[in-house]
């Protein structure tokens, strides 16, 4: 008997296989995965590490009646291959037919749109409680990685789940890595559990009331099936701790687990990127600048909650920063509030953070940092429509979220020079918390000096009648619109607002004789900086139009489409302005 992946339409197709054929199947799945990952890019290490764990999952449990919740769900590719979506992994023309995360719109086997970490146990607890209230009997399973377990909500739910007193199974996929290395003492404890083959008398999971099952060979199908069967149908909380290898089977991914957590298309043999980038990037600029600051002043600390690679903090840069580099693991809340403590203690913390993840620490920004008005600095990446485009990773809600918290100065540089000047300003001052939005898209430059009073708008082009106030990467688009307008005899004033958390009333007062003021932002209109301008000017009866994005969760959009659908092209802006 041979395994033909094309014949796998649902988990039913693997239920009858014997161990040998399950092995063959796993090999075929891994090979197909590698081909797609190399050609298409994606989460390499997480998926290669859980091929067997996922095959065993669908072999032992009966999805979709048994309910499987993948944490982050970036490791759900094999699950997708086994649940009716194999074509999207073996037919290059169909590679983009599936998202990179679980997606209920694709399949009933997928329960939630998920992309952030540490949510699976809470979601599973809700499903299990709903089952109990309804008198159901199905298994509910949360599949979560060791790094995700360190996130606050996962720990809250780990604490709560056994209180249900009914079936809930947590599969802890321990691959000994976060995106980068793990941080936190939990990981020494997991190491102790691995070292003792799960027999250590000190066991945090048993302390929390779990039945604990250890699988030392988490890439061994027989051991996995045995463990899953032991966990199945138990009327209590069971934690199955499986020791897996991230990137298994692909030498470059095994040996460089950080680089191959997520990768763009690469050469399968060498691991070399297929399309090496040598363009200037804001990430590198940030890393270089922070290295300068930490070298110049030992009281500057650079922080991340588990995503150093997202902004150029390579292992070499981290090493060079030494004890001035702080990674709290995937624990944004702890990181932001630790920044408050550092600032209070006289250190200047600079936390780099991906925009979609800063929202995991809203209360910390408000209650710990802003109320205490501490000079912590937060540098956002991908906070823009020119950012990440998966529905779960959108970066264009940040202005609405952050700019309405008192005391925080939220800055949006439009050029590299402004970006550098804002970083220097933020680290140098001690008056306020500062959030800097790293511009989305390609790096742009300015030849004029940067006005370093960042409470003031910058008039980039002097004109009359019509004003375009455009922040960050929208400034370039507004300037193109201005050029079109000049061709038609209108010379608009073009303004770079730079600060999004307050309006420059002095500047806006000069616009009161204008015919039309248009604000342009790369975030949602609702709650954004444009509405602050509108509510300042609207009592005077001046026409104000706020341009930006509709308040919607977009999914895998094309930037050009999104701009056009929201009237954000230079042509549309120019037409509106007349």
The catalytic site residues sit at 246, 332, 360
Q: For the CA atoms of 477, 482, 484, 488, what is the dihedral angle to 10 degrees?
A: 160
Which alpha helices (H) appear in 256-353, and where do they start and end? 282-296, 315-321, 332-344
Q: Which of 380, 386, 388 is nearest to 352 (CA)?
A: 380
Of 335 and 494, the one with the shorter C-beta distance to its own copies is 335
Looking at residues 130 to 159 of the shown chain, list those that interact with its own copies (rule: CB under 8 A).
Answer: 130-134, 150-153, 155-157, 159
User: Min. distance of Cβ 347 from its own copies in angstroms?
Assistant: 4
> Out of 21, 23, 40, 189, which residue is the one contacting its own copies (CB under 8 A)?
189
531 binds its own copies (CB under 8 A): yes
338 binds its own copies (CB under 8 A): yes
Of 41 and 352, the one with the shorter C-beta distance to its own copies is 352
Which alpha helices (H) appear in 297-369, and where do they start and end? 315-321, 332-344, 355-358, 362-363
185 binds its own copies (CB under 8 A): yes
> Out of 16, 269, 279, 346, which residue is the one contacting its own copies (CB under 8 A)?
346
Which alpha helices (H) appear in 237-281, and where do they start and end? 251-255
- If binding means CB under 8 A, how many residues of this protein chain bind its own copies? 114
Q: Which of 216, 253, 213 is nearest to 46 (CA)?
A: 253
- Look at the chain and count its residues: 578
> Residue 429 carries which DSSP code?
-
Region from 249-257, 275-283, 452-460, 523-531 binding its own copies, contact rule CB under 8 A: 523-531
- Cβ atoms of 350 and 377 closer than 8 Å: yes
User: Min. distance of Cβ 568 from its own copies in angstroms?
Assistant: 15
64 binds its own copies (CB under 8 A): no
248 binds its own copies (CB under 8 A): no
183 binds its own copies (CB under 8 A): yes
Looking at residues 276 to 335 of the shown chain, list those that interact with its own copies (rule: CB under 8 A).
Answer: 298-299, 301, 323-324, 326, 328-329, 331, 333-334
DSSP secondary structure string for all residues of 494-513: EEE--B-SS--HHHHHTTTT
User: Min. distance of Cβ 481 from its own copies in angstroms?
Assistant: 16
User: Min. distance of Cβ 548 from its own copies in angstroms?
Assistant: 9
How far is 46 from 266, CA to CA, in rounded Å?
16
Q: In Å, what is the CA distance from 61 to each residue of 230, 263, 373, 537?
A: 11, 31, 51, 61
How far is 267 from 438, CA to CA, in rounded Å?
31
User: Min. distance of Cβ 403 from its own copies in angstroms?
Assistant: 7
Of 48 and 161, the one with the shorter C-beta distance to its own copies is 161
Region from 12-20, 46-54, 86-94, 367-375 binding its own copies, contact rule CB under 8 A: 367-375
User: Min. distance of Cβ 180 from its own copies in angstroms?
Assistant: 14
> Out of 57, 63, 546, 574, which residue is the one contacting its own copies (CB under 8 A)?
546
407 binds its own copies (CB under 8 A): yes
How far is 472 from 496, CA to CA, in rounded Å?
8
Say which residues have a Cβ less than 8 Å from residue 125's Cβ, sequence separation at least 6: 157, 160, 161, 164, 168
User: Min. distance of Cβ 391 from its own copies in angstroms?
Assistant: 6
368 binds its own copies (CB under 8 A): yes
Secondary structure of residue 457 in the 3-state scheme: coil
> Out of 122, 175, 257, 384, which residue is the one contacting its own copies (CB under 8 A)?
122
């Amino acid at each position: 008997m041979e395994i033909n992946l094309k014949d796998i339409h649902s988990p039913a197709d693997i239920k009858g296989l014997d161990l040998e054929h399950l092995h063959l199947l796993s090999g075929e799945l891994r090979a197909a995965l590698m081909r797609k990952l190399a050609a298409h890019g994606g989460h390499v290490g997480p998926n290669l590490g859980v091929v067997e764990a996922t095959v065993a999952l669908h072999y032992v449990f009966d999805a979709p009646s048994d309910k499987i919740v993948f944490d982050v769900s970036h490791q759900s590719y094999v699950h997708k291959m086994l649940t009716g979506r194999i074509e999207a992994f073996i037919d290059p023309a169909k590679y983009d037919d599936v998202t990179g995360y679980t997606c209920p719109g694709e399949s009933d086997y997928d329960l939630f749109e998920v992309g952030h970490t540490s949510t699976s146990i809470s979601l599973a607890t809700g499903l299990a409680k709903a089952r109990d209230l309804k008198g159901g009997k199905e298994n509910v399973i949360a599949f979560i990685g060791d790094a995700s377990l360190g996130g606050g909500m996962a720990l809250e739910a780990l604490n709560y789940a056994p209180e249900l007193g009914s079936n809930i199974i947590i599969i802890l996929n321990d691959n000994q890595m976060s995106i980068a290395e793990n941080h936190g003492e939990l990981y020494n404890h997991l190491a102790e559990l691995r070292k003792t083959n799960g027999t250590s008398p000190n066991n945090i999971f048993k302390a929390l009331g779990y039945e604990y099952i250890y699988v030392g060979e988490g890439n061994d199908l027989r051991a996995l099936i045995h463990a899953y069967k032991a966990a199945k149908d138990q009327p209590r909380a069971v934690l199955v701790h499986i020791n897996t290898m991230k990137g298994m089977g692909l030498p470059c991914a095994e040996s460089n687990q950080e680089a191959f957590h997520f990768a763009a298309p690469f050469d399968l043999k060498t691991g070399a990127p297929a399309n090496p980038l040598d363009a200037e990037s804001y990430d590198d600029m940030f890393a270089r600048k922070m290295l300068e600051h930490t070298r110049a002043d030992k009281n500057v600390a650079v922080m991340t909650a588990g995503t150093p690679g997202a902004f150029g903090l390579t292992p070499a840069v981290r090493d060079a920063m030494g004890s001035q580099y702080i990674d709290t693991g995937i624990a944004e809340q702890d990181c932001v509030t630790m920044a408050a403590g550092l600032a209070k203690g006289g250190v200047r913390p600079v936390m780099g953070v991906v925009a979609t993840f800063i929202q995991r620490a809203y209360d910390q920004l408000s209650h710990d940092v802003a109320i205490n008005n501490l000079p912590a600095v937060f540098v956002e990446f991908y906070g823009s429509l020119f950012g990440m485009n998966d529905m779960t990773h959108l970066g264009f809600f940040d202005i609405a979220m952050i700019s309405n918290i008192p005391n925080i100065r939220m800055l949006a540089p439009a050029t590299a020079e402004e970006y550098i000047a804002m970083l220097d300003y933020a680290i140098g001052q001690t008056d306020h918390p500062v959030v800097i939005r790293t511009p989305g898209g390609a790096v742009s430059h300015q030849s004029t000096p940067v006005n370093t009073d960042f409470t003031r708008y910058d008039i980039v082009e002097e004109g009359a009648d019509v004003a375009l106030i455009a922040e960050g990467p929208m400034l370039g688009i507004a300037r193109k619109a201005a050029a079109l307008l000049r061709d038609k005899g209108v010379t608009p004033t073009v303004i770079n607002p730079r600060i999004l958390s307050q309006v420059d009333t002095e500047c806006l007062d000069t616009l009161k004789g204008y015919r039309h003021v248009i604000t342009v932002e790369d975030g949602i209109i609702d709650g954004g900086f444009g509405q602050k301008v509108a509510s300042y000017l609207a009592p005077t009866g001046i026409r104000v139009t706020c341009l930006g994005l509709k308040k919607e969760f977009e999914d895998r959009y094309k930037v050009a489409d999104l701009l056009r659908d929201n009237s954000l092209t230079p042509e549309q802006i120019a037409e509106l302005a007349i």
